[in-house]
Amino acid sequence: MPKGILVECTTPDNVVAHESGHAALYSLILNDESLDWNYLLYDEREVDRLHDAYAAAIVNSIIMKDPAMIEMYNADPWMYAAKKVGFIQGSISKYAGRRDGETVSEWFNDVSANGENADDFSEEIHKL
């Protein structure tokens, strides 16, 4: 395998599981009957924005099940946004904190790789 493709301690199976998380997000978008595909097929950036929007909705719906995160959001939404990244990185991986789409994919990978030993937030992804 070419050097630099995988992060240290990452296997090809991890990469497949991670990318499957992105595919699951795109599947949600493809099955959304409210979208105008005649428009979207010509604008790849718009599809990427939808990917990010769906991911943000999923991440926030899962994280906001934690009472401490709800309290933090209610106290200071800007601080919540900053703390959310640290919270995600601490629960799953540094890479997961890059973007909400990466968070969903890393949670998906966590469940695929660790099964019952996956992080509680990761397990929520399969309940959606």
Tokens 């090809």 belong to residue: 12
Is residue 128 predicted with pLDDT exceeding 50? yes
Task: Count Cβ atoms within 10 A of the Cβ of residue 110 and give its class: 0-12 exposed, 13-18 middle, 19 or more buried.
Answer: buried
- Residue with the bigger pLDDT between 2 and 86: it is 86
pLDDT tens digits for range 80-112: 887 888 888 887 888 888 888 888 888 888 888
Q: Distance between CA 100 and CA 51 in Å, rounded?
A: 9
Q: What is the mean pLDDT of residues 17-39?
A: 82
Is residue 22 predicted with pLDDT exceeding 60? yes
Q: What is the pTM of this model?
A: 0.77
> Distance from CA of residue 23 to its chain's centroid?
11
Written as six digits, the tokens of 86 are 């640290």
